[in-house]
Structure 1
Amino acid sequence: MTRRALITGITGQDGAYLARLLLGKGYDVVGGSRPSPARDLWRLRAVGIDRDVRIADLELLDSSNILSVIERERPHEIYNLAAQSVVHSSFRTPVLTGDADALGAARILEAIRKVDSSIRFYQASTSEMFGDTDESPQSETSAFCPRSPYGVAKLYAHWMTVNFRNADGLFACSGILFNHESPLRGREFVTRKITHGLAAIALGQCDCIELGNLDARRDWGFAADYVEGMWKMLQGKAPQDYVLATGRSHSVRNFCEAAATAVDLDLVWQGAGIDEKGIDSRTGRTIIRVSSDFYRPTERQPLVGNAAKAGRELGWRSTMSFPELVRTMAEADLKLARR
């Protein structure tokens, strides 16, 4: 029997990579996406699957719509990847973020309970839920202390997933994923802002990019590795929650330096704090500026994940190194800029 998966947020980075993975495993893939007359499928085209998935109009703010989609499609697995996922934006739109990211997951879980409790459910949780936790590295048992509306909303969805699992017996898992990037990342995220911007600067198409705290550190991995972990979680004998991470952290400064090298810019730093600048030593041009506009109102402490449980029980690990990840993204943006 062909298994069917419903992926919410299929037009995003993770949705595209997950859909490609599942199609390769013989799944029938249905993508849930907000109704729009101009739906952008560029990521699905980029991985060569835009004609291989069916798109269903799905609105996380509408319980009746979610229920009707699940009743019609009857998926065996649901991966809830849709979200307002820009952390900085969540401070400006906390209510919308909560409605989509927190209550959206609850609406799906309730629809599963009503339609078919055998459907297996994956919730995209996030390292942002840890926030200012004192423990490092963070594992599945670390304390949560979110410091953004996005983190708070995701924590609600995480605990609702646990609650439906315990109270209603659903096969519901949360993947607590640390930062994962790729050439499919949106330009609103700092990693893609860096690689896209520096590629444009290298080709003379842009003068400078503005960033926030250069010393902010993240645990960055490759998105295509992480979607395999999502799938593995739903193949287990019992539903559990897992951290997916590389176990190593790097700073925004490190990311800039690696990206500059990949596009043949000789980046050096001058100044400190808000006055720090990144200079191309060959030309003397300022190519990176620090701007207070991009500092988070509450910047969280450096986080790094402990994915030992996923390695032990799922056989999962991150395969792409940090330098390779940055180089892959920078080279892809260089090709894009040349076109």
Structure 2
Amino acid sequence: MTERSLVTGANGQDGVYLVERLLAAGHQVHGMCHSADGARRLVEKFPTVIVHVAELENASRIRDLIDETEPTLVFNLAGNTSVARSWEEPAETADVLGVGPIRLLEASWKLSQRLGREVRMLQASSAEIFGDASEVPQTENTPRRPVTPYGAAKEFAHEMASVYRARGMYVSSAVLYNHESPRRPEAFVARKIAKAVARIALGQQETITLGNIDVHRDWGYAPDYVDAMIRIISQPESGDYIVATGVSHSVREFVAEAFAVAGVDDWEPRVIIDPGLYRPADPKRLVGDPSKLRSIGWRPSVTFDELVKIMVTAEIEKSTA
């Protein structure tokens, strides 16, 4: 039977990479976008994708979408991925990222009961569920104590995935750490740095303004993390998986490496620190232990230095095209 995959958030960074992979594997792919404009852009990229406009806040629409498409696989990547924005819209964040996945879980569970077959779901969880983690690195069993609205919403969805798993549903949570690519929106710090550094190197701007550059993150390459999602949902049994490289770097290191790639030596005077950009709460050291994921054959294909080079080089090419 041909796999029929539903990808929510299909025109986001991860969604686009995932749709590419699933189409290449011969899946019939349904892509859910939250706007008609997003749906149009997705079809332009992938003419064979069947697109749907829906929002996770709309329970009846989500139920109808699951019933209409009758997927064998559901990848939930939908929702704003900006931790900073979650402080501006905490209630919306709770609904979309916390309650929204439950609407998908319930609709998928009911479809599986009606059809008498498994409907597998992968929930895109986040390292933010650990907050100021009690241990470094974090594992699948590390206590979860989020410190942001984004993390709290993701934690609720993560817990509810476990509840449905105990009920008998196949649902896995991929606990994603920071993962970047040239497709990352410009509001995110890694893409912001890469673009600004490229422009500085080309003489198109003078400085870059950033917040706290001494926080540490476990940075990976988005296509590698999409590969992890596919591996996870393909396992015989569902469960939670840390998706990380196991190595942390500070934002400061990212900045320094970006300037090095661009051939700019004296970079410190070009970076302006604005305390106004500091978040109300920001986990200081999130780094994951991917041992469980490695046990099913996954390895990152790109190192930290290579990731920074990919992103800065892409920005230089865009600026000089």
- TM-score of the superposition, structure 1-length normalised? 0.90
Aligned residue for 2:231? 232
Q: Give the Cα–Cα distance (whole angstroms) in 2 for the partners of residues 91 and 76 of structure 1.
A: 35
Paired residue type of 2:262: V
Paired residue type of 1:5: S
* Aligned counterpart for 1:301 among listed residues 284, 292, 297: 284
Moved more, 249-258 or 111-120: 111-120
- CA drift at 1:63: 0.7
- Uncovered stretches (5+) of structure 2, i.e. residues with no partner: none
CA contact (8 A) 1:11 1:41 kept: no
Alignment of 1:315 with 2:311, yes or no, is no
- Matched residue SS, 2:75: strand
- CA drift at 1:303: 1.3
- CA drift at 1:206: 2.0
Q: What is the CA deviation profile of residues 197-244 of structure 1, one whole-angstrom value per residue up to 9, with x for unaligned ones? A: 111122222222110111111000001001111111111111111001
Paired residue type of 2:307: L
Higher helix share: 2
Q: Give the Cα–Cα distance (whole angstroms) in 1 for the partners of residues 40 and 315 of structure 2.
A: 18
Paired residue type of 2:123: Q
Q: Give the Cα–Cα distance (whole angstroms) in 1 for the partners of residues 234 and 21 of structure 2.
A: 14
Aligned residue for 1:71? 67
Aligned residue for 2:38? 39
- Matched residue SS, 1:89: helix
- Matched residue SS, 1:116: helix
Paired residue type of 1:197: A
Aligned residue for 1:177? 176
Q: Give the Cα–Cα distance (whole angstroms) in 2 for the partners of residues 267 and 103 of structure 1.
A: 47
- CA drift at 1:89: 1.0
Specify whether residues 41 and 132 from structure 1 end up closer, same or farther in structure 2 by C-alpha distance, changes over 3 A only: farther
After superposition, where does 1:32-181 map in structure 2 within 5 Å? 32-36=32-36, 38-39=37-38, 49-117=45-113, 118-167=118-167, 169-181=168-180
Aligned residue for 1:272? none
- CA drift at 1:39: 2.4
Moved more, 228-237 or 142-151: 228-237
Aligned residue for 1:275? none
Paired residue type of 2:92: L
Q: What is the CA deviation profile of residues 29-59 of structure 1, one whole-angstrom value per residue up to 9, with x for unaligned ones? A: 11101133x32766886xxx42232211121
Q: Give the Cα–Cα distance (whole angstroms) in 2 for the partners of residues 133 and 44 of structure 1.
A: 41
RMSD of Structure 2 on Structure 1 (CA): 1.5
Specify whether residues 297 and 224 from structure 1 end up closer, same or farther in structure 2 by C-alpha distance, changes over 3 A only: same
Q: Give the Cα–Cα distance (whole angstroms) in 1 for the partners of residues 288 and 272 of structure 2.
A: 29
- Uncovered stretches (5+) of structure 1, i.e. residues with no partner: 269-277, 280-286
Aligned residue for 2:220? 221
Alignment of 1:188 with 2:170, yes or no, is no
Specify whether residues 44 and 304 from structure 1 end up closer, same or farther in structure 2 by C-alpha distance, changes over 3 A only: farther
Paired residue type of 1:178: Y
CA contact (8 A) 1:12 1:43 kept: no
- Matched residue SS, 1:91: helix
Q: Give the Cα–Cα distance (whole angstroms) in 2 for the partners of residues 9 and 204 of structure 1.
A: 36
- CA drift at 1:338: 1.6
CA contact (8 A) 1:175 1:244 kept: yes
Q: What is the CA deviation profile of residues 1-20 of structure 1, one whole-angstrom value per residue up to 9, with x for unaligned ones? A: 21110000011000011111
CA contact (8 A) 1:80 1:105 kept: yes
- Matched residue SS, 1:267: coil
- Matched residue SS, 2:133: coil
- Matched residue SS, 1:335: helix
Aligned residue for 1:243? 242
- TM-score of the superposition, structure 2-length normalised? 0.95
Alignment of 1:336 with 2:318, yes or no, is yes
Aligned residue for 2:308? 326
Q: Give the % identical residues.
A: 39
Q: Give the Cα–Cα distance (whole angstroms) in 2 for the partners of residues 42 and 51 of structure 1.
A: 10
Paired residue type of 2:309: R
Specify whether residues 125 and 69 from structure 1 end up closer, same or farther in structure 2 by C-alpha distance, changes over 3 A only: same
